[in-house]
Amino acid sequence: MSVLHDKELAQYRDLVQAPSTFEDGFGWRTVLGAVFVGLVMLPASMYMSLMVGESIGPAAKWVTVILFLEMAKRARSGLRPAEIFIMFAMVGTLVSSPMQNFFWRQFLVQSEAARSYGLTEMFPDWYAPTDMAVLDQQNFFMWEWFVPLILVFVGMIIGRIDQLILGYGLFRVASDVEKLPFPMAPLGVAGVTALAENQSGKEGWRWRCFSVGTVLGLGLGFLYMGVPILSNALGLQEPVRIVPIPWLDTSVNTEGLLPATPTGISFDPSNFFLGMALPFFGVLGAFIAVLITLALNPALHHFGWLTTWRPGQRTPEILFSNNLDFYMSFGIGLAAAVALIGLWQCISGLRQARSGLDAGVDARAVQVDRKGRGDIANWLVVFTYIISSILYIVICGWLVDWKFDGNYLLWVLLFFAFVYTPLVSYVTARLEGLVGQALHIPYVKELAFIFSGYKGIDVWLLPVPMHDYGQDTVNYRSAELVGCSFRSIWKLSALTVPLVFLLSLVYGQFIWSLGPIPSPVYPYAQEIWELNARNQCVVFSSTAGGYSPFLDAIHPELIGAGAAVGLGVYAVLAAFGLPVLLLYGVIKGLGGSIPQMLVIEMLGALFGRYVMAPRFGADNWRQYAPVVFAGYACGAGLIAMFAVGARFLSASVYQLTY
């Protein structure tokens, strides 16, 4: 079975048809929208990510665009689809704050994980200060933070140029030359279509679905996020939580029956609505992986594979222990199998194209009049790639004081820049064009750094030229589907990169000044960050010198078993014509994902497929679900922004002593 003929993927290919003309979507409205998002929504997004582990991005997109649509209506004007698309892209960029990374850095360098592995004093100053006298100030406006901040800003500029120009070049190859359909791109522009439909005075099904989702988001978002944030704003030391955040952990209660197995359920409504919107068999595969672990983990513990687990451990500790004992190696094998399948699909597609076969691509999905699209010369793409790769290598060399003698680090950097990155980016571009999936080759960087012979943990913190630009091709296909000139995207980036950095720095300093991060006020960060720190420090220890549990966790026999299972499952799916997304879902479920969240995703998928689809029709519901999910995100985001605003206001009020 060719993945091009996968039945479920074919249902997503033609949800939206490309127009015949292109327009510039960047203008003064976009500039005003950028200022609005940066001042109002960026801090709410930063706060939510610490509290519930979610970005406000989807909600911020809808709130901003709807606000400007209503303003345009009152001015007897309107927004063109290209303008709506650029506003969506603008919001998505502005709510991705680089200061989230700095919150993480200040925690990592003083974490218990770093101390237990003896790494605290090994973090370089250009990553984060390790002096407790500096960290206790909770102040980014100190000289010790200057170099880390500047490096991140420079990296943002180079990275954004790379994403735009190199992603465009790969899109030209995958879409214009190989004429691939990009089946997942229509899902990304469903909201643009809904809003364009509404402002035309024809409030059709899209707007009704969006409105229903918004009302649900307002109600459920208030119960899940609004109440805890507002209770904290009222001065309560412990926030009031109607349901556990981020999940209900029952692992300790079930360890007698299911040892070494994380159990529980998340009550985050967004996962339920996401499960309704995602392809069903992808969600089903992830849930099958959860069921597999329920049976497999107790057996592995009984037969002496999961030896690190101890009674009383909760979900983060269990995931860390099991990952070291079994799932790291087994997951490497599974991921390697998926990578081999992706490479095989890529090679197979190339052979079909060269032999003149149709390859199953629906020509209607890729025939676009490219006049006015905003294309650039091919030589500029190649020139940008070469210059940016050289800059990455020069920065890495400067940060390690050019310590290339006695190790192969320079050769590793050259390999990443001029062999690995172009190869993986091209294969991912083809896979995105064929099935909406990216290629992930596991632990390439880890193995390269270990075998390079470099000693020290700073190698893990370098801005190495190892990227996958193939995933950026989908954004260009989405722009094409709404008739937005590519020049609009490039203009937008010139505005948003400096704006998001400056505003993130200001708001990041304000949030950090409210109290330690993590703390009970930020339950997601408090629950997950120590697990993430332990996972990172285990890897860092492999080049720190001395004993490393990471090297002990690599078992070749388990890697081989994982690869065999992955290839075997794919062969069975192909033989019986079953959806290949099942395999990708299983990989997600076994790859360290939080099982509590996958359970509620599955409930949403079942509700959508067996309750809503029969009621509205399978084809109709497939189009309704993404719009309902977007509406929910909008409603929940409105509540979150209101609550976070109240929290910031309460923190800014000083009470007099008389």
Task: Give the best-scoring range by mean pLDDT among 144-153, 247-256, 471-480.
Answer: 144-153
Higher model confidence: residue 428 or residue 272? Answer: 272
Q: Which of 149-163, 261-275, 584-598 has the lowest mean pLDDT?
A: 584-598
pLDDT for 530 beyond 70:
yes
- d(Cα 171, Cα 163) in Å, to the nearest integer? 11
Higher model confidence: residue 551 or residue 636? Answer: 636
**Hey, CA dihedral for 327, 330, 333, 335, is it positive or negative?**
negative
pLDDT average, residue stretch 149-178: 86
pLDDT confidence tier of residue 365, bands split at 50, 70 and 90: very low
pLDDT confidence tier of residue 390, bands split at 50, 70 and 90: very high
pLDDT for 198 beyond 70:
no
**Alpha carbon distances (Å) from 648 to 226, 235, 639:** 14, 12, 14
**The two structure tokens encoding residue 373:** 């699209």
pLDDT for 16 beyond 60:
no
- d(Cα 636, Cα 638) in Å, to the nearest integer? 5
To the nearest whole percent, how much of the chain has pLDDT over 70? 83
pLDDT, the chain, mean? 79
Could you please report the per-residue DSSP string of 3-67?
GGG-HHHHHHHTSS---S--B---SHHHHHHHHHIIIIIHHHHHHHHHHTS--SHHHHHHHHHHH
The percent of the chain in helix, strand and coil, each rounded to the nearest 5, is 70, 0, 30
pLDDT confidence tier of residue 202, bands split at 50, 70 and 90: low
pLDDT confidence tier of residue 292, bands split at 50, 70 and 90: confident
pLDDT confidence tier of residue 127, bands split at 50, 70 and 90: very high
Q: What is the pTM of this model?
A: 0.73
**Residue 334 has what pLDDT?**
80
Model confidence pLDDT, tens digit, residues 407-463: 888 999 999 988 888 888 887 887 777 666 666 666 788 888 888 888 888 889 999
Could you please report the per-residue DSSP string of 543-575?
GSSS--HHHHT--HHHHHHHHHHHHHHHHHHHH
pLDDT for 395 beyond 90:
yes
**Residue 391 has what pLDDT?**
92
**Alpha carbon distances (Å) from 652 to 100, 267, 440, 646, 649:** 22, 31, 45, 10, 5
Q: Which of 31-45, 228-242, 451-465, 513-527 has the lowest mean pLDDT?
A: 228-242
Give phi and psi for 264, each to the nearest 5. Answer: 140, -170
Higher model confidence: residue 401 or residue 178? Answer: 401
**Residue 606 has what pLDDT?**
92
Helix (H) or strand (E) segment spanning residue 264: strand 264-265
Put residue 312 in one of left, alpha, beta given phi > 0 → left and psi -120 to 50 → alpha: left
Could you please report the per-residue DSSP string of 574-598?
HHHT--THHHHHHHHHHTT--HHHH
Model confidence pLDDT, tens digit, residues 491-520: 888 888 888 889 889 888 888 888 888 887
pLDDT for 489 beyond 80:
yes
- d(Cα 612, Cα 64) in Å, to the nearest integer? 29
pLDDT for 655 beyond 60:
no
pLDDT for 364 beyond 50:
no
Pairing of strands 248-249, 264-265: antiparallel
**Residue 366 has what pLDDT?**
45
- Count Cβ atoms below 10 Å from residue 551 Cβ, excluding itself: 11
647 neighbors 239 (Cβ within 8 angstroms): no
Model confidence pLDDT, tens digit, residues 601-647: 899 999 999 998 888 888 788 778 877 887 887 788 778 777 777 77
**Residue 414 has what pLDDT?**
92
**Residue 657 has what pLDDT?**
45
Model confidence pLDDT, tens digit, residues 303-332: 888 888 888 888 878 887 888 788 878 887
Model confidence pLDDT, tens digit, residues 37-56: 788 778 877 887 887 776 66
pLDDT for 591 beyond 60:
no
- d(Cα 427, Cα 170) in Å, to the nearest integer? 10
Q: Which of 30-44, 68-82, 265-279, 322-336 has the lowest mean pLDDT?
A: 68-82
Partners of residue 264 on adjacent β-strands: 249
